[in-house]
Structure 1
Amino acid sequence: MKRLLLTLLGSCLAAGVVAQGASAPAGPMSWAITLNADDKPAFASPPEGWDRRRAGVAQGRLEMVGYDSKTVGTRRRMQVYTPQGYDAQRAYPVLYLLHGIGGDETEWQRFAAPEVLLDNLIADGRAEPMIVVMPNGRAQPNDRPEGNVFAAAPAFARFERDLLDDVIPAIESRYRTRTDRDGRALAGLSMGGGQALNFGLAHIDRFAWVGGFSAAPNTRAPAELLPVPAAARELKLLWLSCGSQDGLLRVSQGVHAYLKAEGLPHVWHVPAHGHDAAQWKQDLYWFSQRLFR
């Protein structure tokens, strides 16, 4: 059934906006929305100017980096943000940030400008200086989001090995990073949100901070995500968020209900958004402020 859900994900919401700021259309894999009493925002809307470049704020660097993937057997690309004043003598924590099924390594930069958000937050002392890695979560030789992007759903599951065996070693060899679990975070939107929950919770020894933004149906069933629920207590942060107008809300609600029943601490954030860029951009804004502290 999980394989079928992955294959049919094309019928759901196009997770990875095509037009900047646009909502993806709902399809047969979106469900009627039923809100529960605790399906509420955990945070207010960001303050005025939160997503605009400000004069006088030093800028970090955004660069495209190539790496050799043993998993895929090709040379692949990822975008990497390094904070203002990056010092090769200092070990930085790293956020691995994953895109949706219709996106690629440039998606976050195109609709959210994470370099601007992080520059402002770091300058204000509201976020720790960190490296942000935006890889391509489609682990196959042709990793471009073209044609029927939903046919590549199995490649998103295969990315687990590419992330662990190729991406992380490439980053840790090129940049001065922390290599402990407390220095690694994993998050993503929609299909990437499912990846972040699937991979992060399966490898709590590698990641101490995990975030699923509007997680898609590729997300494993809650009992499969955490067969030993108490293991989640080792996390520094487990973040779940989804818009109250999102037809995929049921996926995140199921994970939240499981965590709540098990008494496991986590953030549950349900603002008035759909399956859209506005939701994910604000997720990054709030999530990044809680990392590595």
Structure 2
Amino acid sequence: MRIKAFLVCWIFVLAVALNAQVAKTNDFFLESKLMGRRIPYRVIFPSDYQTSEKRYPVIYLLHGLSGNYKNWTEKTKLTKYATEYNFLIITVEGENGWYSDSKTKPNSLYESYIIQELIPEIDKKFRTITDRNHRVIAGLSMGGYGAIKFGLKYPEKFVLVGSFSGALAATSIKEGTTLEWITKTIYDAFGPEGSESRKENDIFQIVRSLSDEQVKKLPFIYLDCGTEDFLFKDNQDFMKLLVEKRIKHEYRQKPGAHTWDYWENQIQEFLRLAKKFIEKPIL
């Protein structure tokens, strides 16, 4: 009887210990004044968030086209990986808005929403470290484009920005060159081909226009792309432009396609890199 009681107690203690080491996730909604509607986001809390009074660095993760804010936790083991790091991780909702302020849809202002509403909301609602050196943003495909654009346009906000298989040349996509529903999202976000709004959101153009002083203020840029990815050439071209402009960055390419198997591996690589930057920015 004593042995049985001991085993029950031991199992209970082990379960509690293991549970304490698991990162917790919760969904929240932000009442966006800019867009006039509720926008969801998901928070992955550090395993010791509830038992400490510490403040934490923040990583924002952006999903791809046709995805949503749940993708990162439902299609990868991100929650498991997060237990190794003391980050507050926010998975952001961006619909199919290209993380931009739409020129055709007044309730799709995702660039302003993230910069003006979401980041201040996170810093106010949770125990974050609010300075630039403890804030990171990254994303896959459409989200990679968004993360890089935010780093270029708002360098004072982020120490590190990352793109996995980024759709970096999105603003250059022409009608008839890809699926019709994709070109519609691009038109909705950026306006017609050749428009000023397309140029303003073209990250190749943004990089080319940077002065030497502006380059010095940029966050570190991380890029990776699979060699079998249909966006591989665009990523190589962008990397070459970063080299030309002497912008600090890291570029990786490895076998892989535009798939969750590839991003499963790369998010682990990026979390390790983010940890290094947050501990000691390499700038």
Instruction: State the superposition RMSD in angstroms.
Output: 2.7
User: Is contact 2:20-2:48 (8 Å) kept?
Assistant: no
Q: State the match for 2:34 in structure 1.
A: 71
1:117 is matched with which residue? 81
Which AA in structure 2 matches 1:254? D
**1:81–1:174 Cα change, 3 Å:** same
1:46-85 to structure 2, matched below 5 A, reads 58-85=21-48
How many Å separate the matches in 2 of 1:60 and 1:232? 36
Q: Distance in 2 between matches of 1:226 and 1:186?
A: 22
Give 1:187 shift: 0.4
- Scaled by the length of structure 1, the TM-score of the pair is 0.69
Corresponding residue of 1:165:
116
Moved more, 214-223 or 185-194: 214-223
Shift of 1:157: 7.8
Distance in 2 separating the partners of 1:71 and 1:279: 35
CA contact (8 A) 1:139 1:162 kept: no
Residue by residue, what CA displacement relative to the aligned partner does 1:135-174 show, whole Å, maximum 9, x if unpaired? 101288xxxxxxxxxx999799831111011111221121
Counterpart of 2:46 in structure 1: which amino acid?
A: P
Q: Distance in 2 between matches of 1:155 and 1:239?
A: 32
Among 108, 111, 117, the residue aligned to 2:72: 108
1:265 aligns with 2:256: no
The answer to whether structure 1 residue 251 and structure 2 residue 203 are counterparts is no
Residue 61 of structure 2 aligns with which residue? 97
Worse-superposed segment, 229-238 or 95-104: 229-238
Given residue 203 of structure 1, which amino acid in structure 2 is its aligned partner? Y
1:177 aligns with 2:128: yes
1:218 equivalent among 170, 181, 203 = 170
Counterpart AA for 1:280: W
Superposition deviation, residue 97 in structure 1? 0.2
Specify whether residues 82 and 235 from structure 1 end up closer, same or farther in structure 2 by C-alpha distance, changes over 3 A only: farther
Change (3 A) 1:280 1:153: farther
- Tell me whether 1:228 sits opposite 2:179 in the alignment: no
- Give the whole-Å Cα distance in 2 for the aligned partners of 1:209 and 1:79: 21
- 1:130 corresponds to: 87
Name which structure has the greater RCO, CA cutoff 8 Å, separation 6+. 1
Q: For this pair of structures, how many residues does the alignment match?
A: 223
- SS of residue paired to 1:290: helix
Structure 1 stretches of at least 4 aligned residues deviating more than 4 Å after TM superposition: 151-157
Confirm or deny: 8 A CA contact 2:66 2:95 kept in the other structure. Answer: no
CA contact (8 A) 1:222 1:254 kept: no
SS at match of 1:206: coil
CA deviation after TM superposition for structure 1 residue 229, in Å: 5.4
1:56 positional shift = 8.4
Please list every run of 5 or more consecutive structure 2 residues that lacks an aligned counterpart in the other structure: 1-17, 172-201
Q: Return the alpha-carbon distance in structure 1 between the equivalents of residues 225 and 74 of structure 2.
A: 21
CA distance in 1, matches of 2:103, 2:48: 38
% identical aligned pairs: 26
Other-structure match for 2:263: 280
What does the per-residue CA deviation read over 1:169-200, in whole Å, with 9 as the maximum and x for residues that have no partner?
Answer: 22112101011111111100000110111122
- Classify 1:138/1:154 alpha carbon distance in 2 versus 1 (closer, same or farther; 3 Å): farther
Cα shift at 1:76 = 1.4
Tell me the secondary structure at the aligned position of residue 285 of structure 1.
Answer: helix
CA distance in 2, matches of 1:76, 1:285: 27
Q: Report the secondary structure of 1:289's partner residue.
A: helix
Q: 1:263 to 1:200 in 2, by over 3 A?
A: closer
Structure number having the greater helix percentage? 2
In structure 2, the CA distance between the partners of 1:107 and 1:288, relative to structure 1 (3 Å rule), is same
Kept after mapping to 2: 8 A contact 1:88/1:176:
no
TM-score if structure 2 supplies the norm length? 0.72
